[in-house]
Every structure is written in structure tokens, then in C-alpha cells.
Amino acid sequence: MKKITDKDFFTRTSEKVARDLLGKFICSRKGDMKKYQIIVTEAYYYDEIDDNGKKICYGAGKTKQEAAKLVSAPLFEKPGTWCIYGGQLIISVTDDVNSDNVLIKEVKDEEGNIYTPHKMAMELRLYKKYGICNCHGKFSLSDDADLYLTNGVEVENIKKCDRKGIKRRQKRGFKCG
């Protein structure tokens, strides 16, 4: 598998990046070097608002300076930066002014086991109590992050799906199959 090295991959809209991440692999430099195929993603834009008037993007409504001391600060770094937010794996996209991002919702390992956010967080050690992964705030294309992305399989059957947990359903999620 060829490592993704083109930083321009992340400088597109979150919807395009979310779609194109399907079929790619998240690989770990730690332990047994397992790889996990991305099978569900969700795209978030910094200015999205739900029916209750609440901003729904991670880090939304903040400037880069305001977010500097928050857990969501990596979302304001260069596109392609990892952020762990409540055990969820997120990657920044677009630019370093707005906090547009993509949430990786589900991955599948080589044995076919599917990991939803909580199980993925335990498997990839995104929670401190499980031995934290060194990826929060790290550029995914650098060699100092524990996680990196590789090209994967071409996904032919992509389903656009409603985002869960939002009153006004928005088709910004993507699924393999």
C-alpha cells in the first residue's frame, strides 16, 4: 500500500475528502502494524447549524486563536492534521482559518471486524486509559504521527447517507457498500 503523501488531498471540501477517504487505510506505526480500511465517514463544515441553532462542527464558532487551548485546536492546523475529540478520530481539511473536518465513523480490519467510534478508539488507543496514540495534533503525512493513511481499494458502490444525531438530517455522510 502506498502512503498518501499529497497534502492537496486534504485541501478540498470536507465532503470531497470524506468521500475519497472511503477505501483508504489507516495504518498504525505502533505494535502489530495493523491496517484499518475506512468504511464510513462524515463531512463537517465550520458554519453548519442544526435546527436548534447550535453549530455542529467540531471547533465551530471559534477562531484559531480562541481554539488554541481547546482539544479541537488541531482542527485549525494545516489540512491533514489528526484530532482526537472525545475518543473520535477527526482530520482537518480545507484551510487553517476554518475548522472544516471529516469524522472517521467506521473502519474494518483485515479480518473483517468492524470498529465504530468507541471500539475504534479502544483499538487505536485514542483514549488515555488505553495507552494514548501519538497522533493528536500531528500532521498525518509526517513520520512523527503514530497513524498514517495509505491508498486502498477503489470503492465503486458509495452510499450517501444522512448524518446521525442531527434533527435536520443532512446527507453529508458516506458509506462503502
pLDDT in tens, 146-166: 888 999 888 888 887 766 555
Q: Tens digits of per-residue pLDDT, 96-122?
A: 667 788 999 999 999 999 999 889 888
Please tell me the predicted confidence (pLDDT) of residue 74. Answer: 84
Please tell me the predicted confidence (pLDDT) of residue 163. Answer: 66
Q: Tens digits of per-residue pLDDT, 30-84?
A: 766 789 999 999 888 877 776 677 776 666 667 777 777 777 788 788 899 888 8
Please tell me the predicted confidence (pLDDT) of residue 113. Answer: 96
- Report which secondary-structure segment, H or E, holds 120: helix 117-123
Going by pLDDT thresholds of 50, 70 and 90, the confidence category of residue 130 is low
Higher pLDDT, 163 or 15: 15
pTM: 0.85
